[in-house]
Structure 1
């Protein structure tokens, strides 16, 4: 199966184009000046994403965004800073070194991880290592190490996608998949109880995709980009991840989910309800205009929606 989803792409700003006040603030927090910066591509954050070398020889990964580029991104960077500062050392994630926030620009500096994103289309051996790491992540982060928002609180608006499509008159929109269009009200009802089933005390990353993972030379999997972390069910990260995996050349989501310990332990009807809500989110998001600075986001969400709907139809 060939990858269906387009590459994750955010419009990047070079380090040297950051306002001097932002660069100075980060360098003060890091305790040394930046002497070299290499922009990193991939992922959906607009703004700066760069690996930097400091005057004292240390390395760091810097991400920065302005509210003028994308109004939502500063809020996400602030949430990531709170989460990253609270993660235990046992979590395979980069440590937060310093942050800067002037109300318009928000910038974060993390330890630099010497790794690469998983190869796509997904390869069985590497995917197996990722799955083992996701299982371990759920164990380490149960109970949640800090008072993160509950998934019901964080996703209340997002996971009403089918209802929002109905309200927008999508039953007459021939751009939608015919099966989806014919079953919109059934899907909305199926997703209705998602929050009670997704509830839990595990800290869930909430956005596990290939571009949010790094594989090191010794085979470790490191999880990056934590702005969407919530408290939820221990199987939630696996469920959210699998439509994207499928859209990028990976195996059948149902086969993978039911083969993992957290998936086997989950209530099947609850999983179907949460999957229905997730599918509605992706399908609805893909129908919206693209946000500034993220040119491939809607197509990427559309591919995940197609995979999620196919998985849901199989479960039904």
Structure 2
């Protein structure tokens, strides 16, 4: 059972039978047979279809499909993911894209069906160590970035502004430590873009629900936020979710004292703390609770790194 401190990374998925009929027909045509089995995958927040399909002729695929309702921004994200997935090299630890297309306002991605499972929750240390090693290996393989992608500052520049936004907003209910240091946090956060710069292609959204484990490999799925930045970004960005899902505290897994790291931790923490106070996005009723829980862990990490009292 989940609690407020450990909400599931799951939203409201669209079942296969509710996907736009011409989209279903186009997928079946590509796969060469009618769908005999469709199993919805619950992980992730987008209000879209995420389905493992098996056709009558036995072919399998994993299909993601989203339409303009109820959240039109999801179409933009899936379009971005389609572009990235089509460009990723074979060396990237990601499922292979078989095809992708847009049809009548829907964006569709058809991937190879990976026979894997998400890491167990709460985190098991053996699986966590395996994933962290894979994250580091992925960063090495994707340096320098093998494809064109926006710089991390361009990708998240309008979002990683949380502490600066809070300077102009009501801080009722905000952690007292954060209130005391709000001006300092805003200044620290303002340097994150320079601090996070680099030449590595980063996934930028590594969490347990975006990871598949097989006997042989660790796969990272859902790449719409891929961008170019520092080689340590993916490890750093995943640690607040690890901490809130039963794993070690972030400072136990990332001990680099570089001030650049602290600036990025400040930016990510400000994002979570500010965004969890906002209304639910259309069609995403669970994402704020997940952000709030990550924000608690990230704020503790920021307190630890700054040493401010």
* TM-score where L is the length of structure 2: 0.94
Q: How many Å apart are 1:284 and its aligned residue?
A: 0.6
Residues 1:81 and 2:71 aligned together: no
Aligned residue for 1:214, secondary structure, equals strand
Q: 1:188 aligns with which of 180, 186, 189?
A: 186
> Contact between 1:9 and 1:295, CA under 8 Å: does it hold in 2?
no
1:275 corresponds, among 254, 265, 279, to: 265
> Of 176, 179, 189, which aligns to 2:177?
179
Instruction: Give the gaps of 5 or more residues in structure 1.
Output: 259-263
Residue aligning to 1:144: 145
Match of 2:283 among 282, 293, 300: 293
Distance 1:207 1:304, change over 3 A: same
Note if 1:241 corresponds to 2:238.
Answer: yes
Over the residues paired in the alignment, what is the CA RMSD in angstroms?
Answer: 1.5
Is the Cα contact below 8 Å between 2:31 and 2:59 reproduced in 1?
Answer: no
2:294 is aligned with 1:307: no
1:111-153 deviations in Å (ceiling 9; x for gaps): 1111111011111111000011001000111111111010010
Equivalents in 1 of 2:33, 2:168: separation in Å? 54
Q: Relative to structure 2, which stretch is displaced further, 273-282 or 292-301?
A: 292-301
- Residue by residue over 1:147-172, the C-alpha shift from the partner in whole angstroms, topping out at 9 and shown as x without a partner, is 101001011111111111222232xx
Once the two structures are superposed, residues 80-132 of structure 1 have per-residue CA deviations (whole angstroms, 9 ceiling, x without a partner) of 11111111112221111112213521111111111111011111111000011
Name which of structure 1's ranges 206-215 and 289-298 shifts more when overlaid on structure 2.
Answer: 289-298
Task: Please report the TM-score for the alignment, with normalisation by the length of structure 1.
Answer: 0.92
Q: How far did residue 54 of structure 1 move?
A: 2.0
Aligned length, in residue pairs: 304
Further displaced range: 238-247 or 56-65:
56-65
List structure 1 segments (4+ residues) > 4 angstroms apart after TM superposition.
Answer: none
- 1:92 matched to which residue of 2? 93
What are structure 2's unaligned runs of at least 5 residues? none
Structure 1 position 231 matched with structure 2 position 228: yes
Kindly indicate whether the alpha-carbon contact (under 8 Å) linking 2:78 and 2:107 is maintained by their aligned counterparts in 1: yes
Deviation sequence 1:160-201 (CA, Å, 0-9, x none): 11111222232xx1x211111222111000111110110111
Aligned 8 A contact 1:22 1:100 in 2: no
